[in-house]
Every structure is written in C-alpha cells, then in structure tokens.
Structure 1
Amino acid sequence: MTSAGTQSGFDNAPVTKSLLLCVGGCSLVAYALDCRSLAHLQLIPNLTTQHEFWRLITSQCIATTSGDFFFGSLVMYQLRVIERQFGSSKYAAFFLVTSALSTIFEIGALAVGKRYGLTSIPAGPYGFIFAALYQFYKIIPPSSHYTFLGINISNKASVYFLTALPFLAFQSPSSLVAGVCGILAGAIYRSNLLNMKEWRLPQFVNRFASRFILPILSTTPRRRSPAIVLDQRAHAVQDRGRNPSPASSVIRQPIINEEHVDNLRSMFPQQSQETITRALLLSDNDINRAAQFLLDHP
C-alpha cells in the first residue's frame, strides 16, 4: 500500500492538479486577451457602480504576473499533502468555502481600507492558498530538521519562506491584505464554525467528477517490477527461516483511510460498506482508482 510519505507527483491529488490547470489556463487566456487588469478586486467603482460581480470569481482564479503564477503554483503543489489528508471531496469543498470566505473578507478590507489608500486587491488564489497554508501549519508535522547559521529549522520553513513569501512579495502591500484574509478564512474553517468541516459537494457533482473528471486527472502510482517484489519476498522468507520469531508470523492488516470510505459512501450511496472497503483494498487505498473500480463494477 502506498503511504502518504512515499507518494509523489499528483498521486491522490486530483483537485490540486485541476486547480493548477484552471489557474494556469485562466491566467494564460487573460494574458492572451490582455485583460489581466479586469481581474483585480476593486470595490469602487467596479462592484458598487458598474456591478462587475464577475470579479468576485476572476479575482480568485487568475494570476496576473508570471511571478505570482510561478510561486503560487509551487505553493499549491506543495500543499497537495493537505488534499491527501482531507480526501479529494473534502478538499474541493474546502477550496470553495475558503475562497468564498476570503472574498468576503477582502470586500470588507476594501470598504475599511479605502480611507488608508487601499483601492484594490490583486487577483490570484491568495485566499485559498493561505487558508491551506494555515491547515498545513496546524496539522502537518515537520518530517526533518536542519541547521542554518546555528538555527534549527524544519523542512516546513522552505514552504513558508521560499515559496509563500515570494508569492506575496510580487504585488505587496495589497497582496498582504489578501494573504491575511486567507489566513482568517483558514482559521474559521479550522474552528469548524457551522460544522464547515463536514460540508461536501452535492452527490451528483461527486458522481459526475468520478465518472468524467477523475479518469482524466488521476495519476497511477508507479509500481515496482513484479520480479523485484518476488525477489524481496523470497529473501524475506529465507530470513524468517534463519531467524524465526513470533512477530514474523503476524499478518499485518492493511489500513483503510476512513476519510476515503466516507467520501466513497457519499459518492456511491447504493454500495455497501464491504464493497467500498474491498475497492479500497484492491486499489491500494487510492480513492481515485477505487472510485473507478466502483464505476466499472456497479
């Protein structure tokens, strides 16, 4: 079974992959049409007088500079570990909830900050990224430490200082406001206000995504050669023969991710618990392959 620590690329992270494609595609279109300035969030006159409410959406999905897109993409890619912790269904709901909350906070910041010269907030997925960074800070433990100039630093520092801070720097200081709004949105989600952590996309959306989107976006984990696996098993049997021990005869039961079970049950309510568990076992606990298995074996 593939563990979270050994997964690479976009394994078990289709939402992250789709968000990167969406932001990249929208940014490319905005650059080609030379309309990037229309994506910024501006209260007066765009929202209040001209009623350009579409800016509420474009301000969250278009990166207006190459630096924003590069460093924003790096941060989103590194935060795919949050999707693996949450599960794809919960992570998609998390994106929608935190993006909406951060947009509301940004509108409030524009209303309050106009007297201090804050007239607009740059476009880009600041709200979602910094909401996810807050979850990263809270729930992901550091996996390694190193010393720099006598200071003990964890591997998580590279995410904060080498990608997140440069992402903010390109359009500061107004981008700092967007980052703070994202952190506030992440804190509210983390507090589970209104039971937000249990919110999911409607079942018909999950079924549609499972049938038409996941097969395109899912990444099949790289597998070891069968010859290598058999050779390793042969060596293990020989070692047990030389050094028998009670622990060697214990059969380890595979661990099933309960979040994956809940997500699959919401997507396939007609399937039994045993069928969903079997699908996860056969797919090495990969929710995307398990969903495809359930679709192929109704």
Structure 2
Amino acid sequence: MNGGPSGFHNAPVARAFVLACVLLTAVFGVRGRALRLGLSYQDIIKTFQLWRIFASVFAFSSTPELLFGVYLLYYFRVFERQMGSNKYSVFVLFSLIVSSLFEIIALMLFKDPTANVIASGPYGLIFSSFVPFYFDIPVTSRFRIFGLQFGDKSFIYLAGLQLLLSSWKRSLLPGLCGMLAGALYHLNVFGIRRIKFPNAVARHFSRFFASSGASSSRTSPNGNIAGNISSFTGRQTQRNYPPVARAPPPEPPESSIAMLVSMGFDSNAARQALMQARNDINVATNILLEAQSR
C-alpha cells in the first residue's frame, strides 16, 4: 500500500510541508535547539513566546521522530490527491490550528511551570490524517504473520503508534489532540469540509507551492502531459484533421465495486464513480464522498 503514484505528483502542498519539516528540523538540530522546542506552560502562558507554536508545528525534536513523521506525511499525500490542493490546504490549516488550541488548553490544565509537556513536530496534522485514513481508505489485501491477520493498512498504523509513543506523554498528548481535530473535520463542524480558498488565493499559493524546476507543461492525473496534448489537438484543428475519438472508460471490475459497496455506497453509484475515475478506487471513493457531502 503506497498511497498512489510515487513522488509528490499532484501533491504540491504535501511536498512543501515535508520540505519545511525537514529543513527546520535540520536548522534547529544544528543549532542544538531541537530538544528545547516542545511547548510548555511557562513558554506559552507566562512568557507568551508564541513563536514556539510556529516552530513546534514543523520541527521534530529528534531524527527517529523525523523519519517516522516524514514517512507518514509522505503517505498521507493521498488525501491531497483525493480532495484537491485547495481543500487539502483547508484541512491542513484546520488540523494545525484546532490541534494547537487543544494543546494550549491542555497546557493550561496541567500548569507545569518547567517541563516541556508537548513534543515538537506536526503531530496535529499527522494524527488528524489518521481519521480519514481509518474511515475513507479501504483495506485492499490481508495476510497472516505468525497466525495473526494483518491488512495492508497495518504498517501505517504501526508507524503512527511508534510516533505516538516516541516521547511517551510528550508525544501522546499532541497525537490525541490531532485525532480530536481530525474527528471534528470528519464530522464537518461549521461545514468545514465544504470550505475552499478563493480562486485568487488558490492561484497565488499554487504558484508558491509549484516546484521551481517544474516543466511548463502540466501533467494530468492519469500521467499524460496536458500541455502537449492540448498543443497537439490545436495543430490537428488548424490542419482540419478529424478529431481523435476518446476511448470509452474501462468497465470496472466487480471486486472494486464490491469493495465500495462494503463501505456503504450504492452499487450503481460505485460503478459510475469507478468509470469516471478510470478504475482508480481512491479517486472513486473521493467522488462518492463528495457527492454525499453536497
């Protein structure tokens, strides 16, 4: 289970977030400040060092936490492909802001004046992503190890458990706050799942997140180069060539339809969604979920 095509294809926001985590963790680690990034009651409530909230959102305090965290962020790029970069950006901001608020409330309740009770790193986003991972990503295969049954999602859960318990109470608390934020997003509080950034803002950030070395042509979700196709079609039109007939969508396999039906979707709707998604079950799941939320 790899979360779709390799790399950050169609996931520029996830790519930018992963790069920010790696770079800031390296910067604070070189300066020897990584272990002092965790939030504490003294820093936030008494001395009001709000910059620590921003730093703790991106920078991990140790290399093992960085490795597990980046692995999970890389896998969860699948949600940006399902939602689109605009909605995924809203999901990222909602998860980080709400989980940070829960963490600050927890600090006020603990009132620990000295210890860093909350570990540093994007625990809010990572563990918020486990909520749609649990509800929206189906198990596609099962296997047994030493008589115990596992699914292809098990490795993601094990990586999440390792990160959740990496610093015991310091990492357990932000992980739980992230899960609460993800649950609120899943419940669609305040209609958050329908919110999008305005087109002008989305265009601005799409240019910001775009790779500086990217080609001017655009890659379509199925791997074709959109710029080359459009230019080729234009040349055909100018030369009065007959239009190229598009191949009909492939007939969905019954196993894919059965999997979507087992998730609670109607069989006819599942078939149509799979045909529209050209048998990509993750994209089809997102189409059905979007239709239900309208």
One-letter identity of the residue aligned with 1:169: L
Residue 88 of structure 1: how far off its partner (Å) = 1.2
Q: Does 1:95 align with 2:89?
A: no
Structure 1: 5+ residue stretches without partners = 225-249, 255-298
One-letter identity of the residue aligned with 2:12: P
Counterpart-to-counterpart distance in 2, 1:145 and 1:114: 45
Taking structure 1 as reference, are residues 57 and 29 closer, same or farther at Cα in structure 2, changes over 3 Å only? same
CA contact (8 A) 2:45 2:108 kept: no
Counterpart-to-counterpart distance in 2, 1:59 and 1:42: 11
Residue 208 of structure 1: how far off its partner (Å) = 1.4
Partner of 2:22: 24
Q: How does 1:36-75 map to 2 (within 5 A)?
A: 36-43=34-41, 45-75=42-72
Residue 119 of structure 1: how far off its partner (Å) = 5.1
Q: Does 1:205 align with 2:219?
A: no
Counterpart-to-counterpart distance in 2, 1:152 and 1:48: 47
Partner of 1:9: 7
Taking structure 1 as reference, are residues 218 and 16 closer, same or farther at Cα in structure 2, changes over 3 Å only? farther
Question: TM-score normalised to the size of structure 2?
Answer: 0.69
Partner of 1:190: 186
Residue 168 of structure 1: how far off its partner (Å) = 2.1
Question: TM-score normalised to the size of structure 1?
Answer: 0.68
Partner of 1:172: 168
| Fraction of identical pairs, as percent | 32
Aligned length: 226
Taking structure 1 as reference, are residues 84 and 35 closer, same or farther at Cα in structure 2, changes over 3 Å only? same
Give the 3-state SS of the residue equivalent to 1:112 in structure 2: helix
- In structure 2, which of residues 123, 148, 155 is the aligned counterpart of residue 151 of structure 1? 148
Counterpart-to-counterpart distance in 1, 2:38 and 2:214: 32
Partner of 2:275: none
Counterpart-to-counterpart distance in 2, 1:97 and 1:106: 14
Structure with the higher fraction of residues in helix conformation: 1
Query: Over residues 165-212 of structure 1, what are the superposed CA-to-partner deviations in whole Å (9 max), with x where a residue is unaligned?
Result: 221232112211111100000000110000111222343331112334
Counterpart-to-counterpart distance in 1, 2:151 and 2:145: 10
Q: Does 1:81 align with 2:78?
A: yes
Taking structure 1 as reference, are residues 131 and 33 closer, same or farther at Cα in structure 2, changes over 3 Å only? same
Taking structure 1 as reference, are residues 111 and 6 closer, same or farther at Cα in structure 2, changes over 3 Å only? closer
CA contact (8 A) 1:110 1:119 kept: no
Residue 38 of structure 1: how far off its partner (Å) = 4.2
Ranked by relative contact order (alpha carbons within 8 Å, sequence separation 6 or more), the top structure is: 1
Counterpart-to-counterpart distance in 2, 1:69 and 1:119: 18
Counterpart-to-counterpart distance in 2, 1:13 and 1:46: 35
One-letter identity of the residue aligned with 2:161: L
CA contact (8 A) 2:38 2:116 kept: no
Give the 3-state SS of the residue equivalent to 1:121 in structure 2: coil
CA contact (8 A) 1:23 1:61 kept: yes
Query: Over residues 117-151 of structure 1, what are the superposed CA-to-partner deviations in whole Å (9 max), with x where a residue is unaligned?
Result: 97520111101100011111110101211112222
Partner of 2:33: 35
Counterpart-to-counterpart distance in 1, 2:52 and 2:148: 43
Root-mean-square deviation (CA, aligned residues, Å) is: 3.0
Taking structure 1 as reference, are residues 114 and 90 closer, same or farther at Cα in structure 2, changes over 3 Å only? same
Structure 2: 5+ residue stretches without partners = 225-245, 251-294
